[in-house]
Amino acid sequence: MAGLMAGFGHYTHAIVRGIPASLATEALRTSQAEVDLDKARGEHDAYVQVLRTRLGLEVVELPADEALPDCVFVEDAAVVCGDTALITRPGAESRRGETEAMKEALKDLKMNIVEITDENATLDGGDVLFTGREFFVGLSKRTNQRGAEILADAFKDYAVSTVPVLEGLHLKSFCSMGGPGLIVIGSSDHAQKALKIMQQMSDHRYDKLTVPDDLAANCIYMNLPNKGHVLLHCTTEEFPESVKVFEKLKDHMLIPVSNLEKVKLDGALTCCSVLINKKKPDN
């Protein structure tokens, strides 16, 4: 598997977006917890610093838009694989305007842009898990079958399977990739059921790393020059038992990143960046 997936986790660029003041009061949420705007901005600044300074990615920072309270959660606006970027059609109508700035940023990076124009389709990037070999797309409150079909059409080199998301906002609310061939999964019944479906649908065998907390299963894996395997994951303050599980990954550079405020808005670590691998042009 390692040979075939040699490029998995390689990234050169990240697109992020600022936090508007409207996030605190108007962003969509399933909980009623109060969001501390200053803390959320501090958390996000620290996250961006990790990407830029600690990991050396080229970070494209889009400005916040007060009319788009959820705009910091850029992952939902685009799915990028190779040099193709699929501009999504978010399931929440109030979020559809978020794709405009994302599309322009991806055009500036010379990506091949594909747009979802079908008004019957919905797709949030948070429902899309790319394993390096195939895509799993969660069918959730935000993503439907038509959205999954358009994604399959945009990325024809890869198999695409759908997975029902019965609880939680998105597929990646309880899972993510922790390395080549390694799925990090929450321990709840619905997370474990979703993993079983993924395993049944796939021609490939995946290892799994089960963490006690579903939200902790959302982490960011990268494989970077001079750094090797890197994993951004939750902090001990948030999920101490899950952090103990991550600490067993002895081959990874582990970087805890706080997400205490954005999690109140169902935002996870992957939600706040779109990662891109821009190959250097051959001279």
DSSP state letter for 52: I
Q: Is 232 annotated as a binding residue?
A: no
Q: Tell how many helices (H) and how many strands (E) occur in the chain.
A: 6, 15
Q: So what's the pLDDT on residue 263?
A: 84
Mean local confidence (pLDDT), 210-221: 97
The CATH number given to 13-276 is 3.75.10.10
93 a known binding residue? no
The overall average pLDDT reported for the chain is: 94
Kindly report, residue by residue over 98-157, the tens digit of the pLDDT. Answer: 999 999 999 999 999 999 999 999 999 999 999 999 999 999 999 999 999 999 999 999
Distance CA 220, CA 272 (A): 11
95 annotated ligand binder: yes
- Under 8 Å between Cβ of 89 and 118: yes
Distance CA 275, CA 9 (A): 9
Residues 74 and 105: beta-carbon distance below 8 Å:
no
On whether the CB atoms of residues 137 and 163 are closer than 8 A, the answer is: yes
pLDDT for 172: 98
Answer yes or no: 271 catalytic.
Answer: yes
Q: Decide if 234 contacts 186 (C-beta within 8 A).
A: no
251 is in an annotated binding site: no
Task: Give the tens place of pLDDT for each residue, 142-190.
Answer: 999 999 999 999 999 999 999 999 998 999 999 999 999 999 999 999 9
Reply yes or no on whether 170 is catalytic.
Answer: yes
Q: In this structure, are residues 283 and 88 in contact, taking their beta carbons and an 8 Å threshold? A: no
Per-residue confidence band for 4, with pLDDT thresholds at 50, 70 and 90: very low
How long is the chain? 283
How much is the pLDDT for 35?
A: 87
* pLDDT beyond 80 at 239: yes
**In the chain, what are the domain boundaries?**
13-276
Q: Give the number of other CB atoms < 10 A from CB of residue 218.
A: 29
Residue 28, pLDDT score: 80
Which residue is catalytic, options 170, 229, 233, 252?
A: 170
